[in-house]
Amino acid sequence: MLEVQQDTIETTYREAIRMAIREAMQNDERVFLMGEDVGNYGGCFAVSMGLLEEFGPERIRDTPLSESAFVGIGIGAALAGMKPIVEVMTVNFSLLALDQIMNNAATLLHMSGGLFNVPVVIRMATGGGKQLAAQHSHSLEGWYAHIPGLKVLTPATLEDARWMLAAALEDPDPVLIFENSTLYNKKGSISTEVNKVNIDKASVVRNGKDLSIITYGIGLSKSLEAAEILKNEGIDVEVIDLRILRPLDTETIIQSVKKTHRVLIVDEGWRSGGISAEISARINENAFYDLDTPVSRLCGEEVPMPYAKHLEHASVPQIETIVKQCKNILQHERV
């Protein structure tokens, strides 16, 4: 049998998102991008660089510094039959549009008795690690995962950065995409073949038998590196990339727990009332008797994100703290 050689290209997380936006706009004239500095400046994180020259100001639309206004415009455009991609610079700024997102985008299908879908996609940067301090660096995607009517995506890989957008644009209801700001420079290779990803399923990225790490976003690469360190010490770790925070893929989580019997949830967001607490509750509700140790969580420190580099580093989960927590779980100790 002949082996089929799959073509790949070298790219970055940032460029993968740009490719996804370009392809969406080429395939459907209803798709347009709007947000602060997405045009002439090329986007706060350079994601939309060059798209204004390619598609023009009607489809790459710079907006005033008013998140409530331009997110509301995106919702209105979606109701009118367009397919808007709304870029919000950082998740912190999205709070200025929370009324539009929660009270309009998420509720209109329900409040209209199923008559009006809102096919808007809202992208935003999230997380720390760039020394952007407390007003630009928090991980609030768990807050949005609390809201019925929204779908919450957290692409952690180049493949998901490239292909999740197409699936989000096909969804008839509002989709929020959270891009961790430290991933934009991530390099790697992806297949050139069209990949229609499932935005309802988590992914078992690494198989293991001793312990399950459940994570998303930047936590994935850190957990995979921690798993390699632990492998050298004879510890076999399974790593799950949640990919979607709403709806959570409970089935994949529980299958892993029943296999390894130990769990560590890694979440850069705050511990109290966070998505890690919801995951822990679901594990206890569905697989309590399969656990050999209590569910463990490693989350961001409950402080406003520091500016100082060493304090910012200390405030969120790191490879070394993931390794330490895993060892403590296997020793039946808590930290």
Task: Kindly state whether residue 335 falls inside one of the protein's structural domains.
Answer: no
Rounded to an integer, what distance in angstroms lies between the CA atom of residue 228 and that of residue 235? Answer: 9
Residues 143 and 110 in one domain: yes
State the CATH number of the domain containing residue 31: 3.40.50.970
Strand stretches in the chain, DSSP E: 8-12, 31-35, 60-62, 83-90, 121-126, 151-153, 175-180, 187-191, 203-206, 211-215, 237-241, 244-246, 263-270, 296-300
Q: Is the pLDDT assigned to residue 132 strictly greater than 90?
A: no
Decide if pLDDT at 98 tops 60. Answer: yes
- Mean pLDDT of all residues in 221-233: 97
Supply the pLDDT for residue 136: 87
- Name the residue with tokens 């459940």: 214
134 and 207: one domain? no
Q: Considering 15, 36, 67, 87, which one is annotated as catalytic?
A: 67
Lowest mean pLDDT among 93-107, 190-204, 247-261: 190-204
> Is the full-model pTM beyond 0.85?
yes
Q: Is there a domain that residue 229 lies in?
A: yes
What's the pLDDT band for 332 if we cut at 50, 70, 90? Answer: low
Domain that holds residue 144: 8-191
Instruction: Please tell me the predicted confidence (pLDDT) of residue 303.
Output: 93
Is 2 a residue whose pLDDT tops 80?
no
Considering the domain architecture, whether residues 290 and 160 belong to the same structural domain is answered as no
Query: Has residue 248 been placed in a domain?
Result: yes
Average pLDDT, the chain: 94
What DSSP string describes 19-79?
HHHHHHHHH-TTEEEEETTSSTT--TTSTTTTHHHHH-TTTEEE--S-HHHHHHHHHHHHH
- Determine what percent of the chain is predicted with pLDDT higher than 90: 89
pLDDT classification of 252: cutoffs 50, 70, 90: very high
If you search the block for the tokens 């997110």, which residue do you land on? 71
Residue 179 DSSP class: E
Higher pLDDT, 309 or 129: 309
- For 148-168, b where at least 16 C-beta lie within 10 A, e where not — what string? ebbbbbbbbbbbbbbbbbbbb
Domain boundary among 191, 222, 238: 191
Give the residue-averaged pLDDT of 107-118. Answer: 97
| Known catalytic residue at 136 | yes
Q: Which residues contact 273 (CB under 8 A, 6 or more apart)?
A: none
pLDDT of residue 52: 97
Q: Are 312 and 304 in contact (CB under 8 A)?
A: no
Residue 259, classed as helix, strand or coil, is: helix
Separation of alpha carbons 31 and 37, rounded Å: 18
Of the residues 36, 136, 138, 179, only one is catalytic, namely 136
Structure confidence at residue 1 as a pLDDT band (50, 70, 90): very low
**Do 234 and 321 fall into the same domain?**
yes
Angle (nearest 5°) at CA 242 between 237 and 245:
150
Distance, in Å, from the CA atom of 27 to the CA atom of 42, rounded to the nearest integer, reads: 21
Residue 21 is predicted with a pLDDT of 98
Q: Do residues 323 and 260 both lie within one domain?
A: yes
Binning pLDDT at 50, 70 and 90, where does residue 193 land?
Answer: confident
Q: Say if residue 52 is in the same domain as residue 147.
A: yes
For residue 3, pLDDT over 60 is answered with no
Lowest mean pLDDT among 6-15, 74-83, 164-173, 288-297: 6-15
Mean pLDDT of the region 143-148: 96
